[in-house]
Chain A
Amino acid sequence: MLSVEGLSVRFTDRFGAAMAVEDVSLSVERGEIHGLVGESGAGKSTIGAAIMGLLPAAGQVAAGRMTLGETDLRTLSPVAAHRLRGKRISMIFQDPQTSLNPLMTVEAQLIETILAHEEMTVEAARRRAIDLLEEIGIANAPARIRAYPHQFSGGMRQRVVIALALCSNPELIIADEPTTALDVAVQAQVLDLIRRLAKTRGVGFILITHDIGVIAQVSDRVTVLRDGRVMEQGPTPRVLGQPDHPYTKALMAAVPPLDRRLERFRLPRVPGEKMAQVEADKAREAEDWLMEETGSGPALDLSGITVRFRGERRGLFGPREDFTALDDVSLSVRAGTVMGLVGESGSGKSTLAKVIAALVQPAAGEMRLDGVALPPMRARRRADPSRRLVQMVFQDPYSSLNSRHRVLDVLSEPLWLYGLEPDAGRRDRLAHAMLALVGLPVAAADRYPHQFSGGQRQRIAVARALLSRPGLLLCDEPTSALDVSIQAQILNLLKDMQARFGLTTLFISHNLAVVRQMSDDIAVLKDGRLVETGRSEAFFAAPDATYSRDLLAQTPCTGQQF
């Protein structure tokens, strides 16, 4: 149905031209889900935009043929292309928050879209809209259709977006990371829906994603992309089960398995890629310095932690309705071990880390570090010894480093602040050595954070945390902003550092497979309450709580299913 042959897309900027996509061929049949998978910068979204005819101004199709049925997509006039978009090809975007108009009811948006493509009465369009909502699984559609987008949950909103894409009975739907913003449970439902629509309606899907788990779950065929080129293409079970290309192999090796624990990720070499090399001799000084403080990290005990956020007033004189983010959470992290903390978004994982880091004030509860009381936010003085002992690695490496400070300044700050090293020259030497220890070139010290990739920045963030000589490391989704191969490297780094320096670690993630690789113990949070705690291996073998079982079952896995 859709056939793309030898597609090349060129982007021109003031530094010259660059090929974003080179010689890509693929085809999608009716009812087929074709997965495009690759890491950031692989050109996945560019291919989708080229097929839609929606490339940004700087991009242009340099070569290749694209045909949908009998129509040549490249030779269409702008008017004809506009008519074709939405009518025969639709698109689903990543974020349902922003792809719906918040000021229009769902009804108005659906009817508007239907009428834009077909001549019919408003009444008929409304009937069609209601049918569509029922088809995609929204209960009580005739009433719910009058709601505004914010009155739907994230997953329901993405269903509405899909309904919007179906309005004109398209032949092809391009879904660009349709489930990336959703929790696993909701993701599973949306993927089921896509699967069902492909079967019942015979719509062809191009599913663009960075998540191999998603591909494994729904796609029939898969194209693995890297730097705009096709690495491997074929039926999903074959490509993921017996990958031919070294890049696909490396990608598969980097995906954390849900069914077993790896001591380290094996990272096969990919031709043309530079691996982070630890320069052992240069790193020695930092390693020795960290070792000076012997023994393992402190044990952390939390009891009865409760956090309430101030809510909105209902009416002028109405009482505030406070929101309870954490409800009586008690948790113990054994000295020198890793506690994995999992839960869906909004379950209070990050809030708990912030309470420990003294960034959020708990309404009740007690914290102890090796038996010594750990004062909460308002009571924790700036000079409190725990300021140094508790360090955090944040989720987003793009905002956790000050973009106006050189890496050297970022790294030497804790040494100076905590008075760990009075000599400025030695501070600089330690910062350099620490860079080597986390696998960055020593020359990185003189550059600014924006000159590094996400993974390199996360290495810098880990180095900064280590330079405080911490006992307790809080990792708040440290790899969820990173590509899988980079994630594997950072997880290896964290494992190494944790084991070598005996850090007590609280590792927060929404990804169960990642948590399994990292943690000795595990705790599951749901809506601010602790659902289950236990030894990690026992948990993954047989979770106790129903909720944990659901969570485990819904996590897409690439394991040994092929």
Chain B
Amino acid sequence: MLARLMRIEGVWLFARSPAAILAAIATVTIVAGAALAPWIAPTNPYDLASFSLIDGLLPPAWENGGRPRFLLGTDDQGRDMLSAILYGARLSLSIAAMAMTVALLLGVGLGLAAGYLGGRFDAIVMRIADVQLALPAILTALLIDGISRGLLPRAVHDDLRIAVITLAIALSLWVNFARTARASTFVERNKDYVQAAIMMGQHPLRIMLRHILPNIVGPLLVIATVDLASAILLEATLSFLGVGLPADSPSLGTLIRIGMQYLLSGEWWILWIPTVFLVVLVVAINLLGDFLRDLFNPGMR
């Protein structure tokens, strides 16, 4: 069984790359922890009744004064850090994943059409993409946040905060997909199998989705992985700046923002533990992305 698996090139290269294995273990652990948070977290950080100020600012269990009940200590409100981080990762990862999905659909759709159709449509889409590239992601997010604040009543806006931040991240990431999809489509379009399909009179949509798309997923998958890490970071940045999620929804970004206040006051764990967690997650995903990129670009091995 193992021997047969090793014949698959990807598996073989994976087994020989310690970085990829470590990254995969870290990613799977964190994603599983985030997904299972409601079942494995000691407390529910959304449930205000479950923590009290009396437990506030307790250090991690291994430190002097720590209690085994709060493995990674507590914050000023008495929230269990471990639970907060697990729930935070859950929120961060879902926002990043949703933003990625939107960016992927938008970017690949537009890029594929632009590369296949060419001409004026291509020019318009790519100029929009150029404008988008000129705007920093944070500016886009601030813009969308500002617009939605102005247009929507406060209560509705608060309810839609997750949607707003997702949209903001998606809008700053779709360009990557669009450009890659367009470039790959250009290459594939001139290959004989696509020419054959055009000659036969197949519907353009069918040619794009059934013939070209399967042949360009490789590079897109790589970008999706690397951009997932960017999306997580972007969400953290926005939340840290206060544009993103409110302080009572513990995403990794909001946790770090809260921790900032205790940076020099001795309660290091409130800042450092979520930060290290975020760094590990992002580095692990990036390493996986690098591994995938090498896999799809044999020339770089």
- Which A residues fall within an 8 A CB radius of B? 14-15, 357-359, 380-384, 387-388, 390, 392, 394-396, 399-405, 413-414, 417, 464, 468
Going nearest first, the 10 A-B pairs with the smallest beta carbon separation are: A387-B201, A400-B192, A404-B214, A382-B201, A394-B192, A399-B191, A402-B193, A399-B192, A357-B199, A400-B193
23 contacts between A and B (CB under 8 A): A14-B6, A358-B199, A359-B195, A359-B199, A382-B202, A384-B201, A390-B199, A392-B199, A394-B192, A395-B192, A399-B192, A400-B192, A400-B193, A402-B193, A404-B214, A404-B215, A405-B211, A413-B200, A414-B200, A417-B200, A417-B201, A464-B196, A468-B200
Question: Contacts A404-B214, A404-B215 given: A399-B193 contact, CB under 8 Å?
Answer: yes
For residue A387, which residue of chain B has the nearest CB? B201
A394–B199 alpha-carbon span in the complex (Å):
12
Decide if B198 is an interface residue (CB 8 Å cutoff).
yes
Secondary structure call for the A interface: loop
Q: Any chain A CB within 8 A of the CB of B120? A: no
A405, B195: Cα distance in complex, Å: 16
- B1-57 contacts to A, CB under 8 A, are 6-7, 12
The size of the chain B interface, using a CB distance under 8 A, is 17
Which residue, A15, A358, A417, has most C-beta atoms of chain B within 10 A? A417
Is B203 in contact with chain A by the CB < 8 A criterion? yes
Question: Chain B: which residue is nearest A383 at the CB level?
Answer: B201
Do residues B195 and A394 form an inter-chain contact, with CB atoms below 8 A?
yes
Chain B binding surface, main DSSP class: helix
Other contacts beyond A392-B196, A404-B215: 20, CB < 8 A: A14-B12, A358-B199, A359-B199, A381-B201, A382-B202, A384-B201, A394-B192, A394-B195, A394-B196, A395-B192, A400-B192, A400-B193, A401-B193, A402-B211, A402-B214, A402-B215, A403-B215, A404-B214, A405-B211, A468-B200
CA distance A387 to B197 in the complex (A): 10
B-to-A contact residues, CB < 8 Å: 6-7, 12, 191-193, 195-196, 198-203, 211, 214-215
- Determine how close the nearest CB of chain B comes to the CB of A471; give it in whole angstroms: 15
A53 to B217, CA, bound (A): 39
CB distance from A401 to the nearest CB of B (A): 6
CB contacts (< 8 Å) of A401 on chain B: these are 193
Query: Which residue of the partner chain A has the closest CB to B202?
Result: A417
Q: How far is the CB of A376 from chain B (nearest CB, A)?
A: 13
Most buried by A among B7, B192, B215: B192
Nearest CB in chain A to that of B217: its residue: A404
B207 to chain A, nearest CB (A): 10
What chain A residues lie within 8 Å of B193 (beta carbons)?
399-403
Q: In whole Å, how far is B28's beta carbon from the nearest beta carbon of chain A? A: 25
Which residues does chain B contribute within 8 Å of A399, judged by CB atoms? 191-193
For B202, the chain A residues whose CB sits under 8 A away are 382, 417
A residues near B195, Cβ cutoff 8 Å? 359, 394
Question: In the assembled complex, how far is the CB of residue B62 from the closest CB belonging to chain A, in whole angstroms?
Answer: 45
Residues of B within 8 A of A396 (CB): 192
Q: How far is it, in angstroms, between the C-alpha of A532 and the C-alpha of B65 when the chains are bound?
A: 99
Given A14-B12, A399-B192, the answer on whether A359 and B215 have CB atoms closer than 8 Å is: no
Say how far A27's CB is from chain B's closest CB, in angstroms: 37
- Cβ contacts under 8 Å, B214 to chain A: 402, 404-405
Question: In the complex, which residues of chain A have a beta carbon less than 8 angstroms from the beta carbon of B215?
Answer: 402-404
- The interface residues of chain B lying within 8 Å CB-to-CB of A14 are 6, 12
Set of chain B residues within 8 Å of A357, measured between Cβ atoms: 199
Q: Are A382 and B191 in contact (CB under 8 A)?
A: no
C-alpha gap A387/B200 in the complex (Å): 5
**In the complex the two chains form, is A359's CB within 8 Å of B200's CB?**
no
Kindly state the separation between the CA atoms of A417 and B197 in the bound complex, as whole angstroms: 10
Chain B residue contacts of A464, Cβ below 8 A: 196
Return the chain A residue nearest B212 by Cβ. A402
Chain B: minimal CB distance from A302 (Å): 17
* Nearest-Cβ distance from residue B202 to partner chain A, whole angstroms: 6
Q: How far is the CB of A300 from chain B (nearest CB, A)?
A: 16
- A-side contacts of B201, CB under 8 Å: 380-384, 387, 417
CA distance A95 to B215 in the complex (A): 28
Nearest chain B CB to A411 CB, angstrom units: 13
Q: Using Cβ atoms and an 8 Å threshold, which residues of chain B touch A402?
A: 193, 211, 214-215
Can you name the residue of chain A whose Cβ is closest to the Cβ of B190? A399
Q: Which residue of A lies closest to B213 (CB)?
A: A404
Nearest CB to that of B12 among chain A residues? A14
Residue ID in chain B nearest A384 by CB atoms: B201
In the bound complex, CA of A357 to CA of B192 (Å): 12
Give Cα A381 to B201, complex, Å: 8
